[in-house]
Amino acid sequence: MSIPDSTDQFETVDSSLKMTCIDSFATTATALRRALILVLVASGPATAAELDSIEPSIVRILNYAQQPNWYAPWDALRATQRSGSGFMVSGGLIMTNAHVVSDSRHLVVHRNGDPSPHRVEVLHVAHDCDLALVRPLEPELFSDAPVLQFGELPSLGSTVVTYGYPAGGRHIASTRGVVSRIESQLYSHSGADSHLAIQTDAAINPGSSGGPVVQDGAVVGVAFQAAQDLENVGFFIPTEVVDHFLTDVADGSYDGYPEFGISVSSLESPAARRKAGLAADESGVIVDLVLIGNSADGLVQPKDVILEVDGHLVANDGTIVRDGMRLGLGVLFDAHQTGDVIKLRLLRDGVRLLVEATMAPPSRQFRRFARAYDVLPRYYVYGGLVFVPLGRNTLETLGESWASSDEKHLLYEYLQRFYHDPTALTEEPVLMLRRLDHPVNANGAWASNLVVKRVNGRAIASLEQLVEAIESQRDRYHLLEFAYYKRFIALDREEAENAHREILERYGVSVDRHL
């Protein structure tokens, strides 16, 4: 996961490239026409022989999904149908994208040319790298289908062919394109994780997500997202990310990418290098921040210069050379599983030293920077006040432009506070999201989007602490104090408790909490 240092990081890969997952939510009439045009103008489909060897292993996936309502967390949004693609891998399983199968209520696949739907279930899902494995409920369904084999990282300028069911179509389409860029990109499904991705001009359209990208008969990636603002620019997940996922789930569960937990700055300025104490023949990046509770905690310190990672020299711009390519430093951390040891050579106060760190998964608090899927929102309702943890999904209830919202205190709490107070990342910010108006609370001056600081004199660092502070109160009044602006609310405890059931029934709240 990328450590956020600005709101832009959650919206773009760079200043000109906005990314989006490709699925059937985009199938408006305009999007359909555009998708079909892109298929027609692609540089050429696969040959008949190629299709014959690949087609039997590719499926169309239909996901009848229902997402929670993060503004009314006891409720759910309208169910929708998504479409995507997938392909057969070993063990009778189907590989696809996480965003194709997330929040599923009913999941089926169609084999090419088969009008009958076949039920499948999600076996493993990785929202941090947008991959999933699904299992047919009919064990012999694909016994006659060839298992597609994985290949190596394709070279720049080489040709690849993508396969899938674009634009919700019922027939496989293929597009041929050229590999034009290999580097770390923001994965738009989570909105916060960056991993290696490959850019191609092979059209990747709505419904193509999860389809294989093939070179010389082997799968070299999984189609997953496109650049919204550019024509014929798509991205696929390379096999090294796929291998990381498959290795992780080999023990029956998915742990996720471990988090080293540092923020660094480049040392491209000669003056900055001299100030850091680098010799003329040395290069590296300087550590700005070490996040409490992650792999680097206690081993790496702010102001350390990272000279080398796992034997790879670190350039002043934060890149390394691997397999003849210059890539971002993050690919070396991504190469490890939870429990692996990573080796760093550092410069600290003029002393060069070797540090070994055991890679650990990110904390629950750290994952709040990513969108959550396949989970019910945590919340608590008391006296008509709705309390939730502050996370990405909740912020997105402010609208698509949430990162430029007027709620600047929320953006600071979410994006910046832990830079100034590293202990903040060990806490769970709790938000009074909204008020269900009732006479017991209607006279309060403040109604929404307030970060809770104290309740009845107790500091609040999690939703559970807030519940305990409220439900253990025996005095006549509750006092809720909020961070920023010195705001507060007082509630009459007896009146709030007497009105509790009435408020829940009036607003259709089935249960007052999910913790």
CB 130 within 8 A of CB 92: no
pTM beyond 0.75, yes or no? yes
With a CB cutoff of 8 Å and minimum separation 6, the contacts of 1 are 128, 190, 192, 193, 194, 257, 259, 362, 366, 367, 369, 370
Per-residue pLDDT of the chain (515 residues; tens, 9 = 90+): 766 654 333 333 333 345 667 553 333 333 333 333 233 223 345 555 566 678 889 999 999 999 999 999 999 999 999 999 999 999 999 999 999 999 999 999 999 888 899 999 999 999 999 999 999 999 888 888 888 999 999 999 999 999 999 877 788 888 899 999 999 999 999 999 999 999 998 877 778 899 999 999 999 999 999 877 777 789 999 999 999 999 999 999 999 999 999 999 999 999 999 999 999 999 999 999 998 888 999 999 999 999 999 999 999 999 999 989 999 999 999 999 999 999 999 999 999 999 999 999 887 778 889 999 999 999 999 999 999 999 999 999 998 889 888 899 999 999 899 888 888 888 999 999 999 999 999 877 778 999 999 999 999 999 999 999 999 999 999 999 999 988 999 999 999 999 999 999 999 999 999 99
State the catalytic residue, choosing from 2, 24, 83, 99: 99
CB 31 within 8 A of CB 22: no
Give the span between the Cα atoms of 413 and 392, in whole angstroms.
Answer: 12
CB 354 within 8 A of CB 247: no
For residue 456, what are the CA distances in angstroms to 431, 448, 485? 16, 19, 18
Burial tier of 28 (Cβ tally within 10 Å: 0-12, 13-18, 19+): exposed
Give which of 84, 93, 240 is closest to 163, Cα–Cα: 84
Q: What is the 3-state secondary structure (H, E, C) of 296-322?
A: CCCCCCCCCEEEEECCEECCCCCEEEE
Q: Quickly list DSSP for 191-220.
A: SSEEEEEEEESS---TT-TT-EEEETTEEE
CB 146 within 8 A of CB 57: yes
Give which of 329, 334, 301, 300 is closest to 315, Cα–Cα: 329
Q: H or E stretch including 376?
A: none
Scanning 167-276, the segments in alpha helix (DSSP H) are 239-249, 270-276
Q: Tell me, what DSSP letter sits at residue 436? A: -
State the catalytic residue, choosing from 24, 190, 209, 295: 209
Q: Which residues of 204-238 are buried (b: 16+ CB within 10 A; e: fewer)?
A: bbbbbbbbbbbbeeebbbbbbbbbeeeebbbbbbb
Give the span between the Cα atoms of 442 and 466, in whole angstroms.
Answer: 21
Q: Let me know if 99 is a catalytic residue.
A: yes
Give the span between the Cα atoms of 210 and 163, in whole angstroms.
Answer: 9
Give which of 337, 430, 420, 354 is closest to 390, Cα–Cα: 430
Give the span between the Cα atoms of 478 and 494, in whole angstroms.
Answer: 10
Q: Let me know if 209 is a catalytic residue.
A: yes
